Amino acid sequence: MIKLTNPMMVAALLVAAATGVAQASSSKVKTELAATASAPDARGKATAVVRSATKGRFEVKVKKLAANTAYDVVVGGIKVGSISTKNNGSAKIRFSSKPKSDDVLLGFDPRGDAIEIRGASGDDVLTGNLPADPNDLDGSDVACCIPDDSGTECEDRTEAECVAQGGTVTGAASCLPDPCGATPPADLDVVCCLPDDGGPECEDRTQAECAAQGGTVVEAASCLPENPCQGAPLPGDADVQCCLPDDSGVECEDRTAAECAAQGGIDKGAGLCTATSCDGL
């Protein structure tokens, strides 16, 4: 065993160790987006840069698409934003945990998710899959709220590591967005897209609640009149008003026609469910 007696050497090693931890928590992943038959000449790429557990940015750039046309940006099956191409068919969108200028709030962790650029007709023009976090290839990390001198901060830890450090395990898989009390303030509602069998559901939640429930914070003013979490439906995949048996009678759920039939429901036609969709059944 080598015994270190020089205080300067010990301090240097401690700094190096701390630096190594900081570097290990940062990552950069990117992917080229592949063109589909709907836009064979299109090109695109997506990049995510995470500086720390709660700070990062995500950028999507596209080119050679139809000029002056709007497209949905869909990540993990949820519409997180939209882009409009210029005269030359190019466009970009950037999400940031601390948005500036034209940035959009990064209310999700895109690493490991499928990415689609979708036209108004529901056809995907570019598709790809962003690599997973290289620091968590086995997917064992969770968002851990650890007490700190300045409050509570979120760190990516395994459940065992979180408990050993006196932290609280949350229901979120990532610290993006921060489930431990982040900006916006913890008591301020945001538009939250929650995963559901019939497609992403829009709910008003605080950012911490949204993250803890595995939701995605999106840049929208309200969940009404249209669900901001859903991009243009894929061809043949549009929702219908499906009346399904319920403990209290019949309840309307947004389902595709195929899903409605498979679940023994009654298809009441295209559109979103209303309070009267299943009246008379």
CA nearest neighbour of 154 among 136, 139, 140, 173:
173
Query: Which among 148, 207, 221 is positioned nearest to 176, based on CA atoms?
Result: 207
More confident residue, 15 or 203: 203
pLDDT, position 235: 66
SS3 68: coil
Nearest CA-CA partner of 249 in 270, 272, 275, 227: 275
Radius of gyration in angstroms for the set of CA atoms belonging to the chain, rounded to a whole number: 22
pLDDT of 16 reads: 38
- How confident is residue 2, by pLDDT bands cut at 50, 70 and 90? very low
Greatest alpha-carbon pair distance for the chain in Å reads 85
- Which of 114-128, 194-208, 214-228, 230-244 is predicted least confidently? 230-244
Confidence at 186, pLDDT banded by 50, 70, 90: low
Cα–Cα distance, 72 to 202 (Å, whole number): 17
Q: What is the pLDDT of residues 35-47, one digit of tens each?
A: 999 999 999 999 9
Q: What tokens appear for 25 in the block?
A: 């928590």
- Domain annotation for the chain: domains and CATH numbers: 27-129 (2.60.40), 142-218 (no CATH), 239-270 (no CATH)
Closest CA relative to residue 113, chosen from 221, 180, 234, 195: 195
Residue 116 pLDDT > 80:
yes
Instruction: Report pLDDT for 125.
Output: 96
Question: Tokens for 123?
Answer: 């056809």
In the chain, what percentage of residues exceed pLDDT 70?
86
Which H or E run contains 212? helix 207-212
Q: Which residue from 94, 54, 49 is spatially nearest to 211, judged by alpha carbons?
A: 54
Q: Which residue has the higher pLDDT, 263 or 130?
A: 130
Inform me whether the pLDDT recorded for 161 exceeds 90. Answer: yes
Q: Is the pLDDT of residue 106 over 50?
A: yes
Give residue 247's Cα distance to chain centre.
Answer: 33
Total H helices, total E strands in the chain: 4, 18
Cα–Cα distance between 113 and 77 in angstroms, integer?
A: 9
Query: Residues of 55-84 as b/e, b for ≥16 C-beta within 10 angstroms?
Result: bbbbbbbbbbbeeeeebbbbbbbbbbbbbe
Mean local confidence (pLDDT), 174-191 = 72
Average pLDDT for residues 144-160, to the nearest whole number?
87
User: Which pTM value belongs to this model?
Assistant: 0.72
Does the pLDDT at position 165 exceed 80? Answer: yes
pLDDT for position 38: 93
- Which of 21-25, 36-40, 188-192 comes out lowest in average pLDDT? 21-25
The pLDDT of residue 84 is 96
253 vs 232, which has greater pLDDT? 253
**pLDDT beyond 90 at 95:** yes
Rounded percentage of the chain residues whose pLDDT exceeds 90: 37
Burial class (CB in 10 A: 0-12, 13-18, 19+), 108: buried
Among the listed residues 106, 172, 185, the one whose alpha carbon sits nearest the alpha carbon of residue 141: 172
Question: What confidence tier does 236 reach under pLDDT thresholds 50, 70, 90?
Answer: low
15: confidence class by pLDDT, cuts 50, 70, 90:
very low
